[in-house]
């Protein structure tokens, strides 16, 4: 029996495109003599559909797509994922389901039992969990089919009271299939391989695992679909960050014949780079946009975003706007111009002095007798924001935000100024990661000017300003932020790790006081296990640790 794993890039709510992609794949694999094609979780609707699921028409369109796909399954079978109606009045109105379709009709429906409701997941908001489990019989094989989280209830602290496989194993299946929508984080591929391998060892069964690939606004799916033998050894691994279809012989997998050598693990930095490129590319493609703009300061953050945008969209589709202030150094302007030359993107220079001076003159009477302070610095940042949005409106550019995670965490940014934008490209990358990504981009030749990388970071909004005037060194700051945000440690626990008590309390207070700013930032491409945005929900007016 031959199984094709179809790792495809879907578009939420684009039923015509998703359905065509699935049917085309079925027809191709039918010609290849494949018996069963396996697609990912909620492939019909795209993942996550969120409150689209509250519209009855959306669910009807999912069903219509499934019926159309069924017509393409003569002499072949497929597994697809979609939301279906729960006919029982009690409980949630929908199930997250997988349909087994063969010979032109839906043969069996498998419902997801374990519904993740944590971090970026919110499935119990919409779906009723399954309570009944039954294997699928096809061509002399008994298949234990599960949906994503259904295989993740392992370890010393399980989230759920049941394991679907504990019930399915009673029917003595021959192998497992799991269809998933597992988002990318730089540490998640290794965790995913470990968990799935543990399932194979626990149940002594091979596993075929299919994941989504592609970006859906802030969520990025890295693909990396997997096949394991019953001993839990990795037999094959599909490509990362791109579509891939591979065919496997069930009998070979059951015999533990290694088909492909394990791919060399990409470094975290390389994975984040690939994820950000995919995130930008899909945000534009799926939104119907083509051209991007950004403010290019000569600093490392905007240089990185510009380089990523040029790689994702093509340099001809990127407009870098240099907006020097009266405090901008000559070398910053030169660094920005050198980057533009290296990348080949479009650029223009629009000094902000006249704009900022006009604000100062307008507010002269109200501010009479008061010393210049952060207010005037923010006016400069907001002047840049107004110019960038004007360029966006006039020419149809989509504005890329260039703030990093370190800045966003402690509120080192100006609302309606450098925080504005349609999508935050590096908002889930700490400053230390920004340096790593720039060095990765320069691994073969200098693209980002070396001076941009080595000079002290500065907002250049007052004379001789440096980030270190307001913030601890990023090497220290990022470590404390990581312990608090990703590891969810208290101030006492972080201090116990050897960090200065005054510094820790100061940083955590800055993080919590800046929550109101983060509520107004653009969506952030998620590359870490705990990103700002939908995956980290904090009260603005909370007192704890403030």
Contact (CB, 8 A) for 397 and 391: yes
Residue 294: count of CB within 10 angstroms of its CB: 25
Q: What are the residues facing 127 on neighbouring strands? A: 94
The active-site residue, picked from 112, 281, 286, 431, is 112
Buried b (16+ CB within 10 A) or exposed e, 468-480: eeebbebeebbbb
CA-based angle 424:465:540, to the nearest 5? 45
Residue 163 to residue 199: CA distance in whole angstroms: 11
Q: Which residues are annotated as a binding site?
A: 118, 182, 295-302, 378, 402, 407, 517
Enumerate long-range contacts of 497-505, CB under 8 Å, 24 or more apart: 503/472, 503/476, 504/480
Any catalytic annotation for residue 242? no
Question: Cα 57 from chain centroid?
Answer: 28
Return phi, psi of residue 445, to 5°: -155, 165
Any catalytic annotation for residue 41? yes
| Helix, strand, coil percentages for the chain (3-state, nearest 5) | 40, 20, 40
The active-site residue, picked from 41, 149, 460, 483, is 41
Tokens of 105: 């009709």
Q: Which residues are annotated as a binding site for deamido-NAD(+)?
A: 378, 407, 517
Residue 88 to residue 247: CA distance in whole angstroms: 38
The active-site residue, picked from 62, 78, 135, 148, is 148
Q: Which residues are annotated as a binding site for L-glutamine?
A: 118, 182
Q: Which residue has the tokens 């000017």?
A: 449
Contact (CB, 8 A) for 447 and 310: no
List C-alpha distances in Å: 108 to 79, 101, 105, 343: 10, 7, 9, 53
In terms of DSSP bridges, do strands 423-424 and 398-401 run parallel, antiparallel, or are they unpaired? parallel
In terms of DSSP bridges, do strands 141-147 and 136-138 run parallel, antiparallel, or are they unpaired? antiparallel
In terms of DSSP bridges, do strands 207-210 and 226-228 run parallel, antiparallel, or are they unpaired? antiparallel
> Which residue spans within 376-485 are E strands per DSSP?
398-401, 423-424
DSSP string, 201-231: HHHT--EEEE--EEEETTEEEEB--EEE-TT
Active site members: 41, 112, 148
């Amino acid at each position: 029996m031959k199984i094709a794993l179809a790792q495809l890039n879907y578009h939420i709510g684009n039923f015509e495109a998703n359905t065509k992609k699935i049917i085309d794949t079925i027809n191709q694999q039918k010609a290849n003599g494949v018996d069963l094609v396996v697609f990912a979780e909620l492939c019909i609707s795209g993942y996550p559909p969120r409150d689209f699921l509250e519209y009855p028409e959306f669910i009807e369109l999912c069903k219509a797509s499934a019926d159309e796909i069924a017509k393409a399954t003569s002499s072949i079978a497929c597994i697809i994922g979609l939301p279906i109606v729960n006919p029982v009045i009690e409980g949630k109105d929908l199930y997250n389901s997988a349909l087994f379709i063969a010979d032109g009709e839906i043969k069996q429906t498998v419902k997801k039992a374990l519904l993740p409701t944590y971090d970026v997941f919110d499935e119990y908001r919409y779906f009723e969990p399954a309570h009944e489990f039954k294997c699928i019989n096809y061509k002399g094989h008994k298949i234990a089919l599960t949906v994503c989280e259904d295989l993740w209830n392992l370890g010393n602290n399980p989230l759920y009271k049941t394991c679907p496989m504990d019930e399915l194993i009673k029917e003595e299946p021959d192998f497992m299939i799991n269809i998933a929508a597992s988002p990318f984080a730089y540490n998640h591929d290794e965790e995913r391989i470990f968990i799935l391998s543990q399932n194979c060892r626990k149940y002594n069964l091979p596993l075929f695992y299919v994941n989504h690939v592609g970006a859906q606004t802030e969520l990025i799916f890295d693909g990396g679909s997997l096949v394991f033998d019953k001993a839990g050894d990795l037999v094959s691994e599909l490509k990362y960050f791109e579509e891939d279809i591979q065919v496997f012989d069930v009998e070979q997998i059951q015999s533990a014949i290694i088909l492909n050598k394990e791919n060399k693990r990409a470094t975290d930095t390389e994975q984040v780079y690939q994820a950000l490129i995919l995130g930008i590319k899909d945000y534009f493609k799926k939104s119907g946009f083509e051209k991007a703009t950004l403010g290019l300061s000569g600093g490392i953050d905007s240089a990185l975003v510009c380089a990523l945008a040029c790689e994702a969209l093509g340099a001809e589709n990127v407009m870098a706007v240099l907006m020097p202030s009266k405090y901008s150094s000559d070398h910053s302007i030169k660094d920005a111009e050198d980057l533009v030359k290296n990348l080949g993107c479009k650029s223009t220079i629009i000094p902000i002095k006249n704009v900022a001076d006009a604000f100062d003159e307008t507010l002269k009477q109200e501010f009479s007798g008061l010393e210049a302070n952060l207010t005037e610095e923010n006016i400069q940042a907001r002047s840049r924001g107004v110019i960038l949005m004007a360029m966006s409106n006039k020419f149809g550019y989509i504005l890329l935000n260039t703030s990093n995670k370190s800045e966003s965490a402690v509120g080192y940014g100006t609302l309606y100024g450098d925080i504005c934008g349609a999508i935050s490209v590096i908002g889930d990358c700490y400053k230390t990661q920004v340096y790593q990504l720039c060095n990765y981009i320069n691994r073969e030749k200098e693209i980002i000017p070396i001076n941009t990388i080595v000079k002290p970071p500065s907002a250049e909004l007052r004379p001789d300003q440096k980030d270190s005037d307001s913030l601890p060194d990023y090497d220290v700051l990022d470590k404390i932020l990581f312990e608090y945000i990703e590891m969810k440690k208290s101030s006492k626990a972080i201090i116990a790790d050897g960090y200065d008590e005054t510094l820790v309390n100061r940083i955590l207070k800055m993080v919590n006081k800046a929550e109101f700013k983060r509520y107004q930032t653009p969506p952030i491409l998620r590359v870490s296990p705990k990103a700002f945005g939908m995956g980290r929900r904090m009260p603005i007016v909370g007192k704890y640790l403030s």
